[in-house]
Structure 1
Amino acid sequence: MANRIRASFRKSARSPRAGDGKHRKDVLDSLQELRNSIEKLDDTVQRFTFYNLQMAALRVGIDLSLFSSLVESEKPLAVGRMLRYLASFGAIKETEKDTFTSTNISSTFALLGFQAAICHYANTALQRAFNTTQPAFFWLQTQPEKLALFQEYLTTNCAGMSTFLDAYPVREHPTALHPERVFFVDAIAFRNRYRDLAGRVVVQDLAPTLQHAIQHAGVEMMEQDFFQLQGIKGAKFCYFRNIFHDWPDNKARIILQNTIEAMAEDSIILVDDMVLLNAGVHWQAAQLDILTMTMLAARERTQEQWDQLLQSAELKATSIQTYTASLEDSVIEAAPV
């Protein structure tokens, strides 16, 4: 069906009426209706909640004269992270890894009059918006209503989606563990999936967050600051879900080193996070990278960047299992070098 619709639109675009303003608008409206009718819940949320980042990215492109540079130069421009995001929603075109050129959108915003529209609408980062010098997640601990909304969103956003449990081969690892040994640190979903496996399952977080945690008979709750030494010694699996993308490399390295100190010989660190492609990053993944940069001074990492981070903590990735397409959500199995 989708192929028939695309063919119809191509034929319509080549028709004598294609240059007619109303006809062109009708085609665009029909494409939008098609998109709206087939996208899933998380696609809709991702699209609407990140429109402000597209505006901000266009403003950065204007401030740095990126669009006019691309339009005026015959040579592709080689820059990194911000251009990758602009390319993900079509503002510019990625020709190869970290290399970009102009599109009709960048040609539009190379014009002063249209730059003015973008410059009129601009947003700010978290510290400026809320007049705080605290890092985002420290500040959030002082805002119980906002913290509750954040947790509610995360819970809803993940509902029905694939998880690392759909990709990671837990049963391939030795499971003849003593019932008192901590088998897994940090997930209720793990206990629900593997009720038959021996060992304790513990969820760790800061006290304000644990107050909102879902209680489970087979899961223990434990207060833990991951910037301090890990309080559980010798756990089989230490699992981090969307933790490291909230922190720059120097902070992420501290978290990893505090965990390594507590590992047994057969312990494994599981990092559940996005592993970006080195080129051609999907717009949903690219916009999350820009969000982490502007709000947290952090990043979504490519496989190369994950390798560099792990190596800096004297770890290596022994496997990477990807379980979502657009976001490249993946579980990285890491062990000491």
Structure 2
Amino acid sequence: MSRRLTNALQNEGQIVEGYLYGTIDVLLFKIGADLGVFQKLTSAEKPVTLHELASSTGANEVLLARIMRGLTSIGGVDEAGIEIYAPNKVTRAFATVKGQSGIDLFHNVIHAGWMTFPKFLKETGYQNPTDPNEMPFNKQFNGEAYFDWLGKQPELLHSFHQFMTTQRVGHPQWLDFYPIEQELVPGFDASDPDAVFLVDVGGSVGHEIQAVKKRYPNIPGRLIVEDLKATIDRVVPENGMEAIAHDFFTPQPIRGARAYYFRSVLHDWDDDRCRVILGHIRDAMKPGYSKILINEFNIPLKGACTFATHSDFMVMSVNAAVERTERQWYNLIESAGLRIDKIWTLEPDAESLLEVTIQE
């Protein structure tokens, strides 16, 4: 629930109810998405009646009326009349790939992993979790760690990759504030036809590389996306992008690249595992030439934004991971034999870009 809504409520009782019943919102959006309500309203040329919506979805009309009352009450759709519905910006948002894949992933996986997290913290004496193999998520999903389990669920894995591809829609992108042409192109060894310009480590299906190519169509060198085989099998190589199956907990096969890019990878792991990941990149880097680009939240010690803290509790509860503060980033990077040269940030609630090189 937003601070604006909290301030609008009249008393403590309303505030409590607002937060507690807020979990129903996700339930309503999931049901609406499963019924195709958001796409149907968005694609319709005029407001849609309850009867028309029931006919097109196959839902019982009495039940659907209850669902639609719930959705209109939270601003998910507009009422154009009595039991007549029209789309608004929220409706259109949940009709997008981000909305559809996000509600599927969060309802079926993330929220399920959250349910027993308070009990887990209490039972462990409120110690900071660092071992993904000991999280309550494992007990709910065949005793497997999050990413191991997800890799065996094709439909949910598809939703995960779709959500990751579109996750930053509505937020500033690193390419909006990190000047690649000034920072990386100068000094690139263009004389070597096999020289690698950018490796997107753990880069899903390559959406970041495609964004780079779209922004800089004449960028030199090879562009490579790496991820686990189950993900790489889904990649459609295009615009010169190469795809390699690679586990970042093993030695990095691409040596001497101009840049190794991580987007929302290290926040999935505790410091010990991050040191393993970074150590393999460090060993592959060419001193004085190669850089690591880490695109993640850099949370201030005071005035943290809700987006970052929500993400912190998501990765903590599911995989014992962490969204880091600037102090934590410096400690981690230096402990891996690396150094932060500069932190690029556009605005407080956007993810930053850490530019990292080998310690000399």
Amino acid at match of 1:316: R
Stretches of structure 2 lacking an aligned partner (at least 5 in a row): 19-72, 79-87, 130-134, 201-208
Aligned residue number for residue 182 of structure 1: 196
RMSD after superposition: 4.0
CA contact (8 A) 1:184 1:238 kept: yes
CA apart distance, 1:251: 0.4
Q: In the alignment, does 2:166 pair up with 1:144?
A: no
In 2: Cα distance, 1:38 partner to 1:81 partner: 39
CA deviations on 1:98-146 (whole Å, 9 max, x unpaired) are: xxxxxxxxxxxxxxxxxxxxxxxxxx942111121x3211222222222
CA apart distance, 1:278: 1.0
The alignment's TM-score, normalised by the length of structure 2, stands at 0.61
Amino acid at match of 1:184: L
In 2: Cα distance, 1:38 partner to 1:325 partner: 25
In 1: Cα distance, 2:241 partner to 2:292 partner: 19
Q: In the alignment, does 2:181 pair up with 1:171?
A: yes
Which of 237, 252, 269 is equivalent to 2:292? 269
In 1: Cα distance, 2:113 partner to 2:232 partner: 31
CA apart distance, 1:177: 2.7
Which of 219, 223, 234 is equivalent to 2:256? 234
Which of 290, 294, 315 is equivalent to 2:313? 290
Q: Quickly say closer, same or farther: Cα 1:152–1:137, change in 2 above 3 A.
A: same
CA deviations on 1:284-326 (whole Å, 9 max, x unpaired) are: 2112111111111111111100111001101111111124543
CA contact (8 A) 1:185 1:202 kept: yes
The alignment's TM-score, normalised by the length of structure 1, stands at 0.65
In 2: Cα distance, 1:176 partner to 1:302 partner: 31
CA contact (8 A) 1:188 1:203 kept: no
CA contact (8 A) 1:310 1:316 kept: yes
Q: In the alignment, does 2:357 pair up with 1:335?
A: yes
CA apart distance, 1:203: 0.8
In 1: Cα distance, 2:247 partner to 2:329 partner: 22
CA apart distance, 1:80: 9.8
Aligned residue number for residue 157 of structure 1: 167
Aligned residue number for residue 102 of structure 1: none
Stretches of structure 1 lacking an aligned partner (at least 5 in a row): 26-30, 65-78, 83-123
Helix, strand or coil: the match of 2:301?
A: coil
Matched positions, count:
263
Q: Quickly say closer, same or farther: Cα 1:56–1:131, change in 2 above 3 A.
A: closer
Question: Map of 1:20-59 to 2, 5 A cutoff?
Answer: 41=93
Aligned residue number for residue 341 of structure 2: 318
In 2: Cα distance, 1:334 partner to 1:162 partner: 21
Which of 266, 277, 281 is equivalent to 2:304? 281
Identity %: 30
CA contact (8 A) 2:225 2:244 kept: yes
